Chain A
Amino acid sequence: MKTNYLLPQKFKTIGIVLLVPTLLMAILFLFYDFEFSFLDFRVFSIINDPIMGDAEHFKFIDDNITNELIAVFAILSLVFIAFSKQKVEDELVADIRLKSLLGATYINYLVLLFCILFFYNFTFMWVMMFNMFTLLLFFIIHFNFKMIQLNRK
């Protein structure tokens, strides 16, 4: 069976290799405010709405892009891990993949609904930040768990 839109198998390894330093950088950034000084750039922003001052549109601004790079690498590595082909990519794997995506979407939005109702202010901002990655994370966990179960049979 043809399964379209999946990445080649080697992308899973690339994703894992990319995820390790990204996670390290994310921990350093989140808990120690770590930023690489060589990543100070003048970047183009569509909307820049600082806490102090007025919003600016379509302007070049000065920014350290450490956090942007962490987010980009985290998304890329998770997408690579989630959507790369298995060694044998047949219709059963496609079925498991689809069910896992559905399961992960339900879990993700149940968690988000819970957080909307019970987490407020700055904590909710943290929730929204992590929510960028949790759908992919839940999918990877669910899918790989099902694949391990299948391979044991």
Chain B
Amino acid sequence: MKNSLKVERAKKDMTQAELAKLVNVSRQTINAIESGDYNLSTILALKISKVFQVNVNDIFLLEAKDL
């Protein structure tokens, strides 16, 4: 799964730590999601999309290998 979390954060000038606080996880979790080391839950994906006021699909995208 690809994601544009880093881009969305940059648009809002938000640090990993700030986003982590808003969605109630650790900064390390945001870092692991951004670097593709961890596939997050649906709940967390929805929470993150709510913070950036976009659809989940605008941030998280399935790759060919996921299908």
List A residues at the B interface (Cβ < 8 Å): 1, 88, 90-93, 95, 150-151, 153
Residues on the B chain within 8 Å of A93, using CB: 26, 29
Residues on the A chain within 8 Å of B43, using CB: 1
Bound complex: CA A61 to CA B54 (Å): 70
- Assess the A91–B29 pair: CB atoms within 8 A: yes
| Minimum C-beta distance from A114 to chain B (A) | 32
Residues on the B chain within 8 Å of A92, using CB: 25-26, 28-29, 32, 38
Bound complex: CA A1 to CA B26 (Å): 12
Query: Which residue, of B26, B35, B40, B43, has the highest number of chain A Cβ atoms within 10 A?
Result: B26
| Minimum C-beta distance from A99 to chain B (A) | 11
Taking A91-B40, A92-B29 as known contacts, 12 extra A-B pairs with beta carbons closer than 8 A to each other, sorted by chain A number, are A1-B43, A90-B24, A90-B26, A90-B29, A91-B25, A92-B25, A92-B26, A92-B32, A93-B26, A95-B38, A150-B28, A153-B35
B53 interface residue per 8 A CB criterion = no
List B residues at the A interface (Cβ < 8 Å): 24-26, 28-29, 31-32, 35, 38, 40-41, 43-44
- Assess the A1–B41 pair: CB atoms within 8 A: yes
Knowing A150-B32, A153-B31, A153-B32 are in contact, say whether A91-B44 is a contact too (CB < 8 A). yes
Residues on the A chain within 8 Å of B35, using CB: 153
Residues on the B chain within 8 Å of A95, using CB: 38
When C-beta atoms are compared, the residue in chain A nearest to B23 turns out to be A90
9 A-B pairs with the lowest CB-CB distances in the bound complex, closest first: A90-B25, A88-B26, A92-B29, A150-B28, A90-B29, A91-B41, A153-B31, A92-B38, A90-B26
| Minimum C-beta distance from B44 to chain A (A) | 6
Bound complex: CA A140 to CA B31 (Å): 24
Bound complex: CA A150 to CA B28 (Å): 7
Bound complex: CA A95 to CA B37 (Å): 12
Bound complex: CA A95 to CA B38 (Å): 9
Bound complex: CA A151 to CA B28 (Å): 7
29 A–B contacts, CB within 8 A, in A order = A1-B41, A1-B43, A1-B44, A88-B25, A90-B24, A90-B25, A90-B26, A90-B29, A91-B25, A91-B29, A91-B40, A91-B41, A91-B44, A92-B25, A92-B26, A92-B28, A92-B29, A92-B32, A92-B38, A93-B26, A93-B29, A95-B38, A150-B28, A150-B32, A151-B28, A153-B28, A153-B31, A153-B32, A153-B35
